[in-house]
Structure 1
Amino acid sequence: MAERPLLVIAAGGTGGHMFPAQALAETMLSRGWRVILSTDPRGARYTGAFPEAVQIEQVSSATFARGGILAKLIAPFQILGGAISAIFAFRRHRPAVVVGFGGYPSIPALAAATILKLPRAIHEQNGVLGRVNQVFAKRVDAVACGTWPTELPEGVTGDHTGNPVRRAIRDKAGSPYIPPGDHPMQVLVLGGSQGARILSDMVPAAIAELPETVRAYTRVSHQARPEDHERVTAFYAEHGIRADVQPFFHDVPERMSEAQLVVARSGASTVADLTVIGRPSILIPLAAAIRDEQAANARGLVDAGAAIMIRESLLDVSSLSEHMALILENPDGAVKMAHAALTIGLPDAAERLADLVTTLAERREIGHET
């Protein structure tokens, strides 16, 4: 009996890379493939929800974006070491396809696949290519795009697959939306997988400024950095606001499906989750993003009438509170926003990306036969 084909997924760094990688892994396993995840120690922190059948291999990698001069000098040698290890590993495992999801931890696997001329692809979650994906865009067989349109280098054609969402999100796809009213209302605050200090600075105070008729019914799930946890928890308690503050929510699908409003950064995974489950949102793009990709991610939801986008430079407590009240005091409008989010969702994004992977493998087989 022929051995099942192997997919190597290269991802790491943040949940924005790891969540769609997890979704592809789940889908390829269901199609009878074997899956290896190539990541670094930082990315390994997000592997707890990956299926047990996924083999996790940690590789040596590094980033030029953080650390001092010495760390930046050492980084190329760490990446080279990881690439050499990946070459030996690929000769042993013989992957049918290698897919990179961006971030420096994907460099060793993509470099090895390029050197060995294995079928390879990258998936870009944002509307603008990240640094690593920019490097490999012209060196892979396919560029899968999560946000459409995506800015691509001249001569590169993208495949609009959408951003794959985890099975737990797909299970909540199109969950019935309960409009805001005189009943407990859930507000979900997400700062991305790393949390966001500005949301911890602004959102609690904005909720405290809500009209009493709204605030009395508001319940908050707030993702905050560990160093902000104590002060955020204390603020909510002092103002009589029921809140669950945690550094990371492992049950985001459940919390989002129960939410009347989501206040969040506009990372690609968060935006994809919002369009699959269908919830009104207020999005605050990360101002420090060099390519302003989070604003590009939010634009589709804003244009569809599903979200309000507030630039970080324009964010203040009063305006945020006013926008929150606008949604929570207008049930008909909130329902329209929830439905509008669903109109631009691609719940089958993981299947689309899996189809692309399968096509690359089939092309290779045909090439070998001829």
Structure 2
Amino acid sequence: MPRDTRTAPLALIAAGGTGGHMFPAQALAELLLAEGWRVKLSTDDRGARYAGGFPDAVERSIVRSATTARGGILGKLTAPMKIGAGVLSARAAFRRDRPGVVIGFGGYPTIPALSAAVTLGLPRMIHEQNGVMGRVNRLFAGRVQRIACGTWPTDLPGGATGIHTGNPVRQAVLDHAAAPYAPPGDGVLHLLVIGGSQGARVLSDVVPAAIAALPGDMRARLRVSHQARAEDVARVTAAYADAGIAADVQPFFTDVPERLAQAQLVVSRSGASSLADITVIGRPAILIPFAAATGDHQTANAQALAEAGAALIHPESVLDAPGLTRDIRAILNDPARAAQMAGAALSLARPDAARRLYDLVTEIAR
């Protein structure tokens, strides 16, 4: 018989408009629904673009919010009014359909929902994906019942205590968890290049040149999947073609888990969700932290993988094609080392992160 949802508890998930916030939110939503909860997602227009993978049963609401950290003078002046309107709207919605718990995943679109939860005394918590807590989560760290941390250790505000849950991954990633790793050999070599949900210009500038400088026999066996910004796709595609390298270049891959499972090596930014996917599936990586990330949190994210021997870090400030060529060649020429790196990545995985987070949700909802 179909489940009667009229009396099911409601979880309100608030998440900002990037894949880094939305993917772990989606993972929790999938589990909440499976456990009999109703789920609503509160985000902004940008976040809605990354909500396509959420189950149809999740009700979406677009909130008005803003940030005073970016934009011109007019944007900074009008931001408080937009945030205030969003808070009032969230309070009204919560009174009509009272959530049993509100979970924030970071980003300024979470401000209205978390503010409304604070003023109405609703159970509330936040999940921080990165090794350095973001601005909005830092703002609410002292006003929630639980702080779940995806990366450990996490730099938290003074007096705040975090609980290491790991970063939840989507079911599509879990479907490939611990997929057997095929070390690089004499056959086809699959290389995946991912730059976060927006792609990354620096990866488009440097990575094709680095791969083009690999030995001819290695280039002939390479199959590259490269995620690039839409404006960079044509030139990146041409760069690979000029070097005689088979490459699939797209602005966004909908099948990243499958490509990860197939890959012998991953070249990636070190956003928290990307690293969660890499460790759950278990693949060697070369990581290029985004230099402008708030608090340099991508370097903090990458550190645990580097210390475990799962990844090499190339700081963006010194990134160049020759250094990248050297490390790609070294890993793909050493099957034993590549396999050891894959195993080290897998040792850091938290495939049960969504369940750990769900346990905290139900704990405070009681």
Q: Give the TM-score range, shorter chain.
A: over 0.9
Measure how far apart 1:238 and its partner are.
1.3
Q: Which residue of 1 is the match for residue 356 of structure 2?
A: 352
Question: How far apart are the structure 2 equivalents of 1:180 and 1:93?
Answer: 54
Question: How far apart are the structure 2 equivalents of 1:212 and 1:238?
Answer: 13
SS of corresponding position for 2:233: helix
Measure how far apart 1:213 and its partner are.
2.4
Superposition pairs for residues 290-329 of structure 1, below 5 Å?
290-329=294-333
Q: Which of 199, 203, 207 is the aligned partner of 2:207? A: 203
Q: 1:144, 1:158 within 8 Å by CA — same for their partners in 2?
A: yes
Q: Which moved further from structure 2: 211-220 or 121-130?
A: 211-220
Q: 1:214, 1:329 within 8 Å by CA — same for their partners in 2?
A: no
Question: How far apart are the structure 2 equivalents of 1:290 and 1:223?
Answer: 23
Q: Which of 233, 238, 252 is the aligned partner of 2:237? A: 233
Q: Which residue of 1 is the match for residue 195 of structure 2?
A: 191
The answer on 1:331 being equivalent to 2:331 is: no
Q: Which residue of 1 is the match for residue 51 of structure 2?
A: 47
Q: Which residue of 2 is the match for residue 143 of structure 1?
A: 147
The amino acid across from 1:206 in the alignment is A
Question: How far apart are the structure 1 equivalents of 2:134 and 2:218?
Answer: 40
The answer on 1:128 being equivalent to 2:113 is: no
SS of corresponding position for 1:157: coil
Give TM-score scaled by structure 1 length: 0.97
Question: How far apart are the structure 2 equivalents of 1:158 and 1:304?
Answer: 22
User: CA deviation digits over 1:242-265, x for unaligned, max 9?
Assistant: 111000111100010100110010
The amino acid across from 2:144 in the alignment is V
Measure how far apart 1:65 and its partner are.
3.4
Q: CA RMSD of the aligned region, Å?
A: 0.9
Superposition pairs for residues 92-111 of structure 1, below 5 Å?
92-111=96-115
Question: How far apart are the structure 2 equivalents of 1:272 and 1:111?
Answer: 29
Q: Which residue of 2 is the match for residue 212 of structure 1?
A: 216
Q: Which of 119, 122, 141 is the aligned partner of 1:115? A: 119
The answer on 1:176 being equivalent to 2:180 is: yes
Give TM-score scaled by structure 2 length: 0.98
The amino acid across from 1:192 in the alignment is G
Question: How far apart are the structure 2 equivalents of 1:270 and 1:290?
Answer: 17
Measure how far apart 1:12 and its partner are.
1.9
Matched-pair identity in %: 65
Q: Which residue of 1 is the match for residue 38 of structure 2?
A: 34
Q: Which residue of 1 is the match for residue 93 of structure 2?
A: 89
* Residue-pair matches, total: 362
SS of corresponding position for 1:292: helix
Q: Which residue of 1 is the match for residue 259 of structure 2?
A: 255
Question: How far apart are the structure 2 equivalents of 1:123 and 1:69?
Answer: 31
Measure how far apart 1:211 and its partner are.
1.3
SS of corresponding position for 2:52: helix
Measure how far apart 1:212 and its partner are.
1.6
Q: Which moved further from structure 2: 323-332 or 148-157?
A: 148-157
The answer on 1:282 being equivalent to 2:291 is: no
Runs (4 or more) in structure 1 with deviation over 3 Å come to none
User: CA deviation digits over 1:47-79, x for unaligned, max 9?
Assistant: 111000000000001123332211121111111
The amino acid across from 1:19 in the alignment is F
Measure how far apart 1:181 and its partner are.
1.4
SS of corresponding position for 1:219: strand
User: CA deviation digits over 1:284-339, x for unaligned, max 9?
Assistant: 00111230100110011111100000111111000001010011110110000001
User: CA deviation digits over 1:27-52, x for unaligned, max 9?
Assistant: 10010000000000000000111000
Any gaps of 5 or more consecutive residues in structure 2?
Answer: none
Measure how far apart 1:216 and its partner are.
1.3
Q: 1:12, 1:44 within 8 Å by CA — same for their partners in 2?
A: no
Q: Which of 150, 157, 166 is the aligned partner of 1:153? A: 157
SS of corresponding position for 1:299: helix
Q: Which of 1, 7, 13 is the aligned partner of 2:11? A: 7
Q: Which residue of 2 is the match for residue 66 of structure 1?
A: 70
User: CA deviation digits over 1:79-127, x for unaligned, max 9?
Assistant: 1111110000001111000000000000000000000010000000001
Question: How far apart are the structure 1 equivalents of 2:206 and 2:70?
Answer: 27
Any gaps of 5 or more consecutive residues in structure 1?
Answer: 363-370
SS of corresponding position for 1:303: helix
Q: 1:196, 1:225 within 8 Å by CA — same for their partners in 2?
A: yes
Q: Which residue of 2 is the match for residue 368 of structure 1?
A: none
Q: 1:148, 1:160 within 8 Å by CA — same for their partners in 2?
A: yes
